[in-house]
Amino acid sequence: MVAGRLVYCRPAAKDWDVLPVFADYPAICAIVLGIKLSSGGTLATIFGRKHDISLITPMTKLAILEYPDPRLRKTAKPIDVVDDGVRQLAGDLLETMYAAKGIGLAATQVDVHRRVLVLDVSDERNQPLVFINPEIVSASGRGPGEEGCLSVPDIYEKVQRATHIRVRALGTCGQAFEMDAEGLLAVCIQHEMDHLEGKLFVDYLSELKRQLIRRRLEKERKQRGDSRAGSGVAIPGAPASGVAMPRTSRPAL
């Protein structure tokens, strides 16, 4: 598996190593810490360094749409400019993913139809990755892997995917990068990229299996007294308690 360190637009600073991926980019690091950076604001300190800060913007836990919500079928649009709004979205996606104990989340799953996805496949849960406008440059190998999805809670099935991929994307300050991925990371990237196309891992299964899954999810929603029972539709802006929470220790994406 590829270690989850990406090089962002600034050289690494040793004292930022606690957040390895964002270490090179103070703004996204600040997003992870729930702090909005802006020029012309007052000075504040993050990890002993002074930064201009205009206001505190806590990250938001967003409601995750559940299968078979039709909004999961929308195709996400590319990001034209990586600005503070996109960085805030990335921070909110990470917050939502960690809260739901997932290892990946695409913007589509929180009803934002832009091409942004986040991942963290590290055991320590401290290597967040952000991919903006991701594209597969090359793919090789093929093998089955068990997948789950925060939008299809507690369902795990084997899916065939490329075992090695090279992906190109923009980072959190708009710079292009490429990285090689294999194993779980490769599976996660492909799974999340499917979300951006309105595709779910259950689409790789038989119609019969999909029907069984739909019925099981509907029954579970009824059992937990979910007002969304029967519709399969998450309420926009619903509190984070309404998100899909995995009840098993297996990771979902």
Please report, to the nearest 10 degrees, the dihedral formed by the alpha carbons of residues 77, 80, 84, 85 taken in order: -30
Q: Is residue 149 close enough to count as binding Ni ion by CB under 5 A?
A: yes
Q: In whole angstroms, how close is the CB of 203 to Ni ion at the nearest point?
A: 11
Active site residue 197: no
- Residues in contact with 181: Cβ distance below 8 Å, sequence separation at least 6, in sequence order: 1, 2, 164, 165, 166, 167, 189
- Whichever of 187 and 253 has its CB closer to Ni ion, that residue is 253
Q: Is residue 253 close enough to count as binding Ni ion by CB under 5 A?
A: yes
- Whichever of 31 and 149 has its CB closer to Ni ion, that residue is 149
Buried b (16+ CB within 10 A) or exposed e, 109-148: bbbbebbbbbbbbbeeeebbbbbbbbeeeeeeeeeebebb
Do residues 57 and 42 touch, judged by C-beta distance below 8 A? Answer: no
Q: Is 80 exposed, middle or buried (0-12, 13-18, 19+ CB in 10 A)?
A: exposed
Q: In whole angstroms, how close is the CB of 156 to Ni ion at the nearest point?
A: 12
**Looking at 142-150, 156-164, 172-180, 237-245, which segment touches Ni ion (CB under 5 A)?**
142-150
User: Which listed residue (95, 147, 192, 218) is catalytic?
Assistant: 192
Q: In whole angstroms, how close is the CB of 10 to Ni ion at the nearest point?
A: 31
**Looking at 69-77, 89-97, 212-220, 245-253, which segment touches Ni ion (CB under 5 A)?**
245-253
Q: In whole angstroms, how close is the CB of 26 to Ni ion at the nearest point?
A: 30
Active-site residue set? 192
Residue numbers of the site for Ni ion (CB under 5 A)? 149, 253
